[in-house]
Amino acid sequence: MNEPESSPYLHRLRNHCDLLYPNIPPEDVSKRIEEVLEGVKKPRSSGNGLWSSQDAILITYGDSIQRSEESPLETLHQFLRQTVKSDINSVHILPFCPYSSDDGFAVIDYREINPELGDWDDVDRVSSDYRLMADLVINHVSSESEWFKNYQAGKSPGAGFFVEVDPNADLTSVVRPRASSLLREVQTADGSRYVWCTFSHDQVDLNFRNFDVFIEFLKIIRIYLDHGVEILRLDAIGYLWKKIGTTCIHLPETHEMVRFLRTVLDEYAPGTVLITETNVPNQENLTYFGNGNEAHIIYNFSLAPLLLHALLAGTSKYLKAWMMSMPPAPMGCTYLNFTASHDGIGMRPAEGLLSDDEQSEMVSTIEKFGGQLSTRKLGDGTEKVYELNVSLFDALQGTLEGLDRFQIDRFICSQTIMMALEGIPAFYIHSLVATPNDTELVEKTGRARSINRHQWDADALEKLLSDPQSPQSRVSNEILRRMRIRSRQPAFDPSAVQFTLHLKTHFFGFWRQSRDRRQSIFAVNNVTSRRRSLNLSDLNLIVTDDWFDLLSGEHFDDRTQKIALAPYQTLWITNWSGD
């Protein structure tokens, strides 16, 4: 791509290089990027809007559903086509490359598909039917990778790819998501060296000060795009750049690297969506929008712990306060809303939003419901709860008062709140099919996170989904029904207007309005285990419009009437069906 000297692209490239690679001429940077990405496959969304009310994502491992004599990716594709259909139009397949640990996040070879899952043809078939999201595990690589073995031998590619540190350096300011030691001693052709390992000693951090590392990741991105990946999840991106004497998280160079990737992909593969994974306090997370020039999407990490607290405690006080403080996403950006994932429910995003006592009460309740905890090490050597490890379905089997009979209603309420908020909803597969805690897998692996990484036998799951009385059938059918309704509402477009409603704390309510102002939806949720009365007059429904509930079909002719909401019932009160 021969760009004129004064092109906006080259101008932005120079700005990135000034901070990241000041010793390399921008023209050389541009040439090497072009060599990698020229002619790359462009996403189907190129030239169109990046998202609409029809967008939603299913998060799953490639082998979450298995059938003998089939590749797991083939079985997943069948599940998507037969059960999910078009009610959820996108799928995030968690790391699918060969790996050595951390259930895929210690990648051995980014260019290959783990043969235990299938092959690139399986990925191609999924991406032909669904918008595909994939992980770019960009902060670290497996210690069993060719890169790391070459580093130890002093060969390329690999030599200079890793962060070497003097073991006597002062690293007390470094923010850690784990309790393991930060440095690992390894033997190299040049003798003993200490390498940086943010997450585990099998996950060795990469040195992005070396431009060759950036180019290698562009080659990986090229492979992903050519196989139909349209959304790139930048895993653990906040820890990317290291500078001794700092926290080594969210450094200016890290943000610049996200902007650099955005510039390059906007130039060569417009329509590619970047999403940053930064499981940190809310204010830090929001910085990854930049000025609308970094991530297209950021995870709404605070939603999961605050929504869980609201449904356990029966009050929307803290969820409401957080939502009122949340800014609308910048133009061309949005949030990814989720309540559960392959990881646990992060507690760092609740810091400053829930008091220590409220967090402790929630932690204690989750332990009573069979959940476990993961911790992180603080600078003073002490440990603090980092995440709750639990199936969300089992986390909601009761309240702070104990077990009750409202598990399914409470759980469906959690998913309905999530799917109505500003942004794109994302459902973890074990939420969609109401998977309980897998304590046997925890015992087998010795890892707390395994509790929410069950692997279903496809035939057993299909049997449960065909039984109208099973929790799996009741939950999945109702979630997908509500998603079909949601997808037709312009007021649920990710960029539609949102305001928090000032209702009593046993309700959590908000108002969405379509960008053309034609449709309004008042989403009101009873977050308690008791029937609650709602005064419709509190919603200020316009007197000239016909108002009704999208979920039940009930009409409200008297705009001053009181209506009773059953425990965990949701109303989507609108003046237009969207059909």
Report how far Cα 395 is from the mean position of its chain's Cα atoms. Answer: 19
486-513 confidence digits (pLDDT tens): 999 999 999 999 999 999 999 999 999 9
Full set of structural domains in the chain with CATH? 497-574 (2.60.40.1180)
Report how far Cα 101 is from the mean position of its chain's Cα atoms. Answer: 20
pLDDT at residue number 11: 94
pTM for the full predicted model: 0.96
**Strand residues in 295-410 grouped as ranges (E):** 297-299, 334-338, 345-346, 372-377, 383-389, 398-399, 402-403
- Asked if residue 542 has pLDDT above 50, the reply is yes
Burial 447-460 (b: 16+ CB within 10 A, else e): bbbbbbbbebebee
Q: What are phi and psi for residue 113, nearest 5 degrees? A: -95, 135
Percent of the chain whose predicted confidence (pLDDT) is above 70: 98
Q: Averaged over 10-32, what is the pLDDT?
A: 96
Q: Which of 14-18, 29-33, 48-52, 262-266 has the lowest mean pLDDT?
A: 48-52
As a whole number of Å, the CA-based R_g of the chain is 24
Q: Averaged over 160-181, what is the pLDDT?
A: 93
Rounded Cα gap, residues 104 and 113, in angstroms: 11
pLDDT at residue number 576: 87
550-572 confidence digits (pLDDT tens): 999 999 988 888 999 999 999 99
What H or E segment, with its residue span, contains residue 562? strand 562-565
- Give the residue, 7 or 457, on which the prediction is more confident: 457
Q: Which of 174-178, 391-395, 421-425, 516-520 has the lowest mean pLDDT?
A: 174-178
Is 449 part of any known ligand binding site? yes
Percent of the chain whose predicted confidence (pLDDT) is above 90: 91
Q: Which long-range contacts (CB under 8 A, 24 or more apart) does 99-103 make?
A: 99/142, 100/142, 100/143, 100/144, 100/202, 101/142, 101/200, 101/202, 101/203, 102/199, 102/200, 102/202, 102/203, 103/61, 103/342, 103/449, 103/453
| Nearest to 62, CA basis, from 111, 139, 106, 123 | 123
Q: Averaged over 85-112, what is the pLDDT?
A: 97
Is 102 part of any known ligand binding site? yes
279-327 confidence digits (pLDDT tens): 888 999 999 999 999 999 999 999 999 999 999 999 999 999 999 999 9
Is 356 part of any known ligand binding site? no
Catalytic residue list: 235
Rounded Cα gap, residues 180 and 197, in angstroms: 9
pLDDT at residue number 487: 96
Q: Which of 178-182, 211-215, 491-495 has the lowest mean pLDDT?
A: 178-182
Task: Read off the pLDDT band of 6 (50, 70, 90).
Answer: low
**CB 208 within 8 Å of CB 254:** no
Is 233 part of any known ligand binding site? yes
Task: Read off the pLDDT band of 4 (50, 70, 90).
Answer: low
Give residues with Cβ within 8 angstroms of 449, minimum separation 6. 103, 342, 343, 344, 374, 389
Is 481 part of any known ligand binding site? no
102-129 confidence digits (pLDDT tens): 999 999 999 999 999 999 999 999 999 9
The pLDDT mean for the chain works out to 95
pLDDT at residue number 123: 98
Other C-beta atoms lying within 10 Å of the C-beta of residue 73? 24
pLDDT at residue number 1: 47
Rounded Cα gap, residues 147 and 202, in angstroms: 13
Is 140 part of any known ligand binding site? yes
